[in-house]
Structures are given as structure tokens and as C-alpha cells.
Amino acid sequence: MRSPSALRWLVGVELANYRKRTGLKQADAAKRVGISVGKLSHLETGERQQQPADIAKVLAAYGAPQHDINRLTSLAEIPDESNWWGAWRDVVPDWFGTFVGLERLATKEFVFEPIVIPGLLQTENYARELSRSSSRVRVDHSERVVEVRMERGQRLAGENPLHLHAAVNEQALRLHVGTPEIMREQYEHLISLAKRPNITFQVVVPERGTHDATNGEFFVLEFEKARPIIYVEMQDGAMYVQHPGEVDTYRASARSVQEVALSPDDSVRFVTDLIKRL
């Protein structure tokens, strides 16, 4: 069975988390709601399209306030465009496809990247070099992986662009990817993106001291009608952090990085200096 779309997954996560906060097991919750355990399970996993009426019935049985019922039913009514990457399904693993879909739904994103320039900020040539050098990307899939990355980047433009705050280690900026020409193009692209009102770009340098994001790359995704989700990528999978307390820990780490990093203006000057050194 294919994984649910990011939108159905997000609705399901919200429903499951609400049930858990009430202290009910699925069987007890299903009995209280007046539906089968199987139907409640499908609602929580997003394996099938959740109907607003079912969501309202479940949340009302949990004693949810009306504003939460309205929030989640309206979320379920959003046109589901989160599987736009279906044309690349054979080159995008399900765990990453879910993230890409969530990114499509998000209003704000924070990313801390210590190793390479974040995907949303990459040029096509930079992305192509990374794809070609990766042992995890099949040679015949390389160009299509680049296409996915470029399509993701479109989320930064348009009528309602994603608000992105990217904190990038100096090491990631200095990593040699391809030719000097490719690096120059990438640096100039970063400077151009940093001028957009919906993008905040900061460089993290060792001279500014320590911060709390010592475990590596992570993303904070925020939504208009759902609670934040943390995404942490691993070698062959990903972890989605949903518990409010754990989400708060990552958000605190994000603030710690932002406080230590160079200011946006100084970060642009840093990249400009890197161009001069090519």
C-alpha cells in the first residue's frame, strides 16, 4: 500500500495526538465515538481520505474545543496537492515524499544545515553535482532527482511563498561542489535569494561560539491550521517529531542557532567574500 499523502498524514497525526492526550486507547476511543476500530485507525493513518464530518465527530467525542474542531475540519477541506511529486515517485522514497508534501503545505520553515547548502537554496548545477556524487542516487535517476529539488525551490516564489529561515554552517558553504564556476553561481544565487522578503539567510561560524543544534540537520515546519512538525533526515529514512514537548526542544535549538549565527547582512557579506576568494 502506498503511503498517505502529506495532507492526510498531517490530519491523521493531529487526530492521533488528540486521542493520546485524552489517554484513550484506540479501542476505547472508537467505542466512545461510535465507529469501528478499523475506521478510527484509517482516520489516524490517513490511508483513506478523512471526511470533515468524521473528524468533527471524533473530536467532539474527545471533548475538543470548537476552535480545534473548526481548525482540523478546515484542514481536511484543503485541496490535496501534496502529491504533486507523483511523477517522480520511483526516484523519491515515501519518507521523503511525505516531507516534500508537508513542505508544500507549510507556511514557514526553519532549516539548520551543517554539511551542504539546503536543497531549497541550491542551483540546478550545484544540485546536479551533489546528485552525481551520491552513492544513494542511481545514475539513471540523477537528473530526475535534480528536477524534484528544483520543483521544491518553486515554493519560495509565487503568490503565497514559503517563509524560509535557513541557518547554514560555514563548512557547508566552503564545501567544494563541482567547479569554481558552479560555486560562484551558487554563491550569487544565495545572495540573490537573501534579498527576498520571505527568506532569512544566516551563516554559522565557529568564532561565534556554541549553540544547541549539535546533533546535525533538522527542519521545523509550521502550518496555518496544524501544529508544527520537526523533520530529521537519516541515512536511509527520516524521523518526524510531533510531541509538543519535543517540538519545543527543537524550536529552542533553532532560536539558539539564530542567536549565534551572523546577522543576515553579515551573512551576505560572508558569501560575497567567498566569491572574491574563488
Return the minimum-mean-pLDDT range out of 67-71, 82-86, 87-91.
Answer: 82-86
Q: Residues 190-219: pLDDT tens digits?
A: 999 999 999 999 999 999 999 999 989 999
Q: pTM for this one?
A: 0.84
Report the share of the chain in percent with pLDDT over 90.
59
Mean pLDDT of 256-266: 98
Asked if the model's pLDDT at residue 269 lies above 80, the reply is yes
Comparing 203 with 17, the larger pLDDT belongs to: 203
Comparing 220 with 131, the larger pLDDT belongs to: 220
Dist. CA 14–CA 242, nearest whole Å:
9
Place of cell 556554541: 210
Mean pLDDT of 179-194: 97
Mean pLDDT of 154-159: 90
Mean pLDDT of 79-89: 57
Asked if the model's pLDDT at residue 17 lies above 60, the reply is yes
For CATH 3.30.870, the residue range(s) in the chain are 84-276
Task: Check if the beta carbon of residue 178 is closer than 8 Å to that of residue 122.
Answer: no
At 1 the pLDDT is 41
Task: Check if the beta carbon of residue 253 is closer than 8 Å to that of residue 217.
Answer: no
Return the minimum-mean-pLDDT range out of 48-62, 85-99, 225-239.
Answer: 85-99
Mean pLDDT of 151-176: 94
Classify residue 35 by its DSSP letter: S
C-alpha cell, 86 = 507523483
For CATH 1.10.260.40, the residue range(s) in the chain are 6-76
Q: Residues 226-253: pLDDT tens digits?
A: 889 999 988 777 898 988 899 999 999 9
Asked if the model's pLDDT at residue 277 lies above 70, the reply is yes
Dist. CA 69–CA 48, nearest whole Å:
19
User: CA 129, 215, 225: angle at the middle one, nearest 5?
Assistant: 85
Asked if the model's pLDDT at residue 118 lies above 60, the reply is yes
Whole-number average pLDDT of the chain = 89
| CATH no. for 84-276 | 3.30.870
* Domain 6-76 CATH assignment equals 1.20.120.160: no
Model confidence at 221, pLDDT cuts 50, 70, 90, reads very high
At 150 the pLDDT is 87
C-alpha cell, 81 = 496537492
Distances, alpha carbon 87 to alpha carbons 3, 79, 144, 155, in Å: 15, 18, 10, 17
At 137 the pLDDT is 60
Task: Check if the beta carbon of residue 152 is closer than 8 Å to that of residue 101.
Answer: no
Mean pLDDT of 55-60: 94
Asked if the model's pLDDT at residue 52 lies above 70, the reply is yes
Spatial CA neighbour of 76 closest among 46, 101, 51, 113: 51
